């Protein structure tokens, strides 16, 4: 149980295009999802907390207009990298927690998306 | 101050031997959870083991065990009988009970290499 699906796994696109990444909870409803960015050989950096039906909460230093997050349903959150540039190339990974979770609930992660901007 | 500290950037272990990956944490909460994740080169984050702040017993899950020393604020992961497939990055994480946003704090990770 508690499976999170992330799509696509790989994206290669030209500079200036927008890229949408989807994160789905397959067998549970996730009121809260998280989006992380990870550079090679580094830890996960929390970008934003995505809450169903409300605006995402962005971490300090993350451009809201650059990284658009939409959590329109209890099973889907999307991250759109707008007007992507080479410096946006990175590994993006989402996670979700079971609803009503207490501090003993792990975050369940998608498999991540490797984004390469040419 | 860092919430989670992993002081070992890289570790090597002989196959079939045990290895301990260090993790210390910093919190003033009484209620918190500690987690270990494995990240292979393919990138997915695999949940390994959980330890609650009120748990009196050390958590165990198969070959994984957590050496929880509350007074020292440490939550080291012990992998017994290492296998080649254990080669990966390992991240320690904490969730504080007072954090209504449910965010996790992650350490910088330890890269484990199992040598045949």
A77-97 tens-digit pLDDT: 999 999 999 999 999 999 998
In angstroms, the separation between the Cα of residue A82 and the nearest Cα of chain B is 23
**Start-end of H helices in B4-47:** none
CB A33 within 8 A of CB A50: yes
First to last CA, chain A: 37
Q: Residue A86 phi/psi, 5° resolution?
A: -50, -35
Nearest CA in chain A to B111: A41
Q: Do A46 and B103 touch (CB under 8 A)?
A: yes
Interatomic CA distance for residues A32 and A2, integer angstroms: 13
Instruction: Report chain A residues whose CB lies below 8 A from the CB of B53.
Output: 103
Q: Do A104 and B50 touch (CB under 8 A)?
A: yes
Task: Label residue B100 by pLDDT band (50, 70, 90).
Answer: confident
pLDDT of residue B55: 92
Instruction: Report chain B residues whose CB lies below 8 A from the CB of A60.
Output: none
pLDDT of residue B87: 98
CB B21 within 8 A of CB B112: yes
pLDDT of residue A1: 66
Q: Is the pLDDT assigned to residue A101 strictly greater than 80?
A: no
Whether residue B98 lies within 8 A of chain A, CB to CB, comes out as no
pLDDT of residue A97: 87
In angstroms, the separation between the Cα of residue B109 and the nearest Cα of chain A is 6
Q: Do A57 and B101 touch (CB under 8 A)?
A: yes
pLDDT of residue A102: 64
CB B72 within 8 A of CB B113: no
Q: Which residue in the set A101, A109, A112 is minimally distant from B102, CB to CB? A: A101
Interatomic CA distance for residues B67 and B20, integer angstroms: 9
Instruction: Report chain A residues whose CB lies below 8 A from the CB of B50.
Output: 104, 106
Interatomic CA distance for residues A63 and B68, integer angstroms: 38
Q: Is the pLDDT assigned to residue A9 strictly greater than 80?
A: yes
Average pLDDT over residues A4-11: 96
Output the CA–CA distances (angstroms, integers) from residue A44 to A52, A84, A104, B12, B43, in the order listed.
22, 20, 20, 23, 11
First to last CA, chain B: 38
- Tell me if residue B85 falls in helix, strand or coil: helix
- Tell me if residue B106 falls in helix, strand or coil: strand
Task: Label residue A52 by pLDDT band (50, 70, 90).
Answer: confident
Instruction: Report chain A residues whose CB lies below 8 A from the CB of B109.
Output: 42-43
Q: Angle A11-A13-A14 (CA atoms, 0-180°, nearest 5)?
A: 165
CB A28 within 8 A of CB A2: yes
Interatomic CA distance for residues B116 and B102, integer angstroms: 40
Instruction: Choose from B45, B95, B96 for mutation: most chain A CBs within 10 A.
Output: B45
pLDDT digits (tens, 9 = 90+) for B10-68: 999 999 999 999 999 999 999 999 999 999 999 999 999 999 999 999 999 999 999 99
Q: Between residues 39 and 78 of chain A, which touch chain B (CB distance below 8 Å)?
A: 41-44, 46, 49, 57
């Amino acid at each position: 149980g508690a499976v999170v699906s992330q799509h696509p796994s790989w994206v290669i696109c030209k500079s200036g295009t927008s890229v949408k990444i989807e994160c789905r909870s397959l067998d549970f409803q996730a009121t809260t999802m998280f989006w992380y960015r990870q550079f090679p050989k580094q830890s996960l950096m929390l970008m934003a907390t995505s809450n169903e039906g409300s605006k995402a909460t962005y971490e300090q230093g993350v451009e809201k207009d650059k990284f658009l997050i939409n959590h329109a349903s209890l099973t889907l959150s999307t991250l759109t990298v707008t007007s992507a540039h080479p410096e946006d190339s990175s590994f993006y990974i989402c996670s979700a927690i079971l609803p009503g979770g207490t501090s003993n609930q792990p975050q369940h992660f998608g498999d991540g998306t490797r984004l390469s901007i040419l | 101050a860092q919430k989670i500290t992993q002081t070992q950037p890289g570790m090597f272990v002989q196959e079939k031997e045990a290895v301990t990956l260090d993790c210390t944490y910093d919190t003033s909460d009484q209620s918190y959870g500690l987690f270990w994740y494995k990240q292979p080169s393919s990138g997915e984050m695999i949940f390994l083991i959980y330890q609650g702040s009120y748990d009196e017993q050390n958590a165990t899950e198969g070959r994984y065990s957590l050496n929880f020393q509350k007074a020292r604020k440490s939550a080291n992961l012990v992998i017994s009988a290492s296998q080649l497939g254990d080669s990966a990055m390992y991240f320690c994480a904490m969730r504080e009970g007072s954090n209504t946003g449910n965010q996790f704090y992650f350490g910088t990770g330890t890269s484990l290499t199992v040598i045949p």
